[in-house]
Amino acid sequence: MQTFFFPGLDSVYYLVFEALNQQPRLLNALLSIPYGIAAFLVFSMARLFVGTRSIITDLLCAAVAVMGLTGAGGLPTIATTMSDIVPGLPFLVALTLWLHLEAKGRHNLRSSFALGLCAGVSVGLKLTLSPIFVGLFVAIALRGGLSRARAGALQAFVFGLGGLLTFAAIDASWLLGNWTTYGNPLFPFMNHVFKSDYADHSPWTDLRFMPRTLKMAVFYPAYWAFLTTNLAIELNMRDGRIMAGILGAIILLTSCLVYHLRNPKPSDRNGVISASIALAIVVLIAYGLWEKLWSIYRYLSVVETLTGVTLLAGLAQLASVWKKEHWAFLATAAVIVAIMTTTQYPWWSRAAKGDLALSVSLPAMEPDAMALFLDPYAYSYLVPTFPSTVKVVGANTNFIRPGSWGKMQAKAETAINGHQGPFWGFEYPEAFPGEADKTLAFYNLERDGECAPVVSNIDDRPLLRACHLKRK
């Protein structure tokens, strides 16, 4: 979906790629560091729920961390700009600290505010991480139960305030710019609410992956746990992590209820139990909001990292009720093995190994040229290789199309029709047959001679074409 979201993280990626393009191994190592940090955080969370620590429990916690960071959402995007683990890292830091403080009973308003500041960074970097922030907000609000509802609500308010401040520090200027330019701070999303005339007055939500029936909505994680399917993502996948995490959360909450009914008096386990309840609430609310808003599996990557921890915490709590703690470890290990041996990954295109991280070969473009993207393929990675003076227009995208309604389409038409220099058109005829021809016909343009292949180390073979264009 072409959007005008805050591009801060993309700008950082661009600078890093530009600086290290000739050192691809170093670049890959640098982009993988957040995964290592995330794995350590998951390991640290898992150790809260194993009771007495030993080499065996540490190995199990390490397996939980490996499981969380090798899911179908996270692993295929490692060392890429698509990864949600990178923007989600501040939230994982905040959640880890929150759970440890909760287990020790050391929370106060200052810690709530500080952790809100930290978690808000993730939402500022990527808005699709907002459901998991809301999950922790609710967990904090409910942490004291009915007896301490006021204290929990106050801590949640302070946490939310901290998150709002960092979100505003990161995104406010950009959102305000969208508001003043387009009349919609999230343009084009939610345009049925803001009604910007730059685009159609619709939600602009990608509905392709939404559950199609109530039954599917209730059991959605089971579909991709047991079937190889593209129901929730563009490519085929199979992964049982989310289902295991949700079941773990349900088991955890049920076991905690049974434990408290059997043991109404406070004990030294209450802090760990409270932390485990918070973890379950985070996972369940984050998943529920994700399914309602997007149902795009990649946006579950951060929740995916927590599935093994939630499963371990749930089984450990269940085992403590029945006084058979060792069974929890055996069951967790068995589930981890079953999931990791049956996972099928949606592998995205990756650059071939070479001397450059990204290598693109294009025909020489005139300094005063205009580049037109003639079909909805993702061409943005080509733009940095263009001469800096070349103008670029997405003439046929998933946002504007020839003849579509809105001021943005009108601006594209004005720019193309008023351009006095040469034109270059980029197309992917195999994936979008006929789309480029429709765009050319609308703008009264035609190909001028033979088109040249666009050669890059991202594609196994030349798939894109660059065509010199002329007016009819």
Q: Give 7-33 pLDDT, tens digit per residue.
A: 899 999 999 999 999 999 999 999 999
Helix-strand-coil percent breakdown of the chain, rounded to 5? 60, 5, 35
How far apart CA 37 and CA 449 sit, in angstroms, is: 52
Q: Is 145 exposed, middle or buried (0-12, 13-18, 19+ CB in 10 A)?
A: exposed
Q: Where does 343-450 show beta strands of DSSP type E?
A: 360-361, 370-373, 391-394, 423-427, 445-447
101, pLDDT greater than 90: yes
CB burial of 321-358 (b: ≥16 within 10 Å; e: otherwise) equals: beeeeeebbebbbebbeebbeebebbeeeebeeeeebb
Query: Pick the residue with more confidence: 144 or 394?
Result: 394
Q: Is 163 exposed, middle or buried (0-12, 13-18, 19+ CB in 10 A)?
A: buried
- Mean pLDDT score of the chain, rounded to an integer? 93
169, pLDDT greater than 80: yes
* Residue 74: closest CA among 90, 86, 91, 63: 86
CA 304, 307, 309, 310 torsion: positive or negative? positive
Position 285 scores a pLDDT of 98
Q: End-to-end alpha-carbon separation of the chain, Å? A: 32
Q: Is there a contact between 472 and 432 (Cβ–Cβ < 8 Å)?
A: no
- Give one word for 48, left, alpha or beta, with left for phi > 0 and alpha for psi -120 to 50: alpha
Confidence of residue 267 (pLDDT cuts 50, 70, 90): low
Two tokens at 105?
A: 């009973």
326, pLDDT greater than 90: no
The pLDDT of 354-383, averaged and rounded, is: 94
Q: Is there a contact between 42 and 63 (Cβ–Cβ < 8 Å)?
A: no
Q: What letter does residue 434 receive in the DSSP assignment?
A: T
Q: How many CB atoms lie within 10 A of CB 156?
A: 20
52, pLDDT greater than 60: yes
Position 146 scores a pLDDT of 64
Q: Which of 109-118, 255-264, 392-401, 454-463 has the highest mean pLDDT?
A: 109-118
Confidence of residue 398 (pLDDT cuts 50, 70, 90): confident
Position 1 scores a pLDDT of 40
Strand partners, 425: 372, 467
Position 149 scores a pLDDT of 79
Two tokens at 104?
A: 């020790």
352, pLDDT greater than 90: no
pLDDT tens-digit profile of 103-140?
Answer: 988 888 999 999 999 999 999 999 999 999 999 999 99
Cis ω before 221 (30° cut-off from 0): no
- Give one word for 169, left, alpha or beta, with left for phi > 0 and alpha for psi -120 to 50: alpha
* Residue 154: closest CA among 111, 119, 117, 118: 111
pTM equals 0.93
Containing 464, the helix (H) or strand (E) segment is: strand 464-471
Position 80 scores a pLDDT of 92
Indicate the range of 56-60, 62-66, 319-323 predicted with least confidence.
Answer: 319-323
Q: Is there a contact between 359 and 457 (Cβ–Cβ < 8 Å)?
A: yes
The pLDDT of 312-319, averaged and rounded, is: 93
Backbone angles phi, psi at 452, to 5 degrees: -105, 140
Position 147 scores a pLDDT of 64
Which residue's structure tokens are 């998150």? 163
Two tokens at 292?
A: 């309602």
For 449, the 3-state DSSP assignment is: coil
Confidence of residue 262 (pLDDT cuts 50, 70, 90): confident
**Structural domain boundaries of the chain?**
8-342, 360-471
For 454, the 3-state DSSP assignment is: strand
The pLDDT of 350-369, averaged and rounded, is: 92
Confidence of residue 251 (pLDDT cuts 50, 70, 90): very high
Which residue's structure tokens are 């992917």? 428
| Helix boundaries (H) for 195-324 | 214-226, 241-262, 270-293, 301-305, 307-321
Q: How many CB atoms lie within 10 A of CB 313?
A: 34
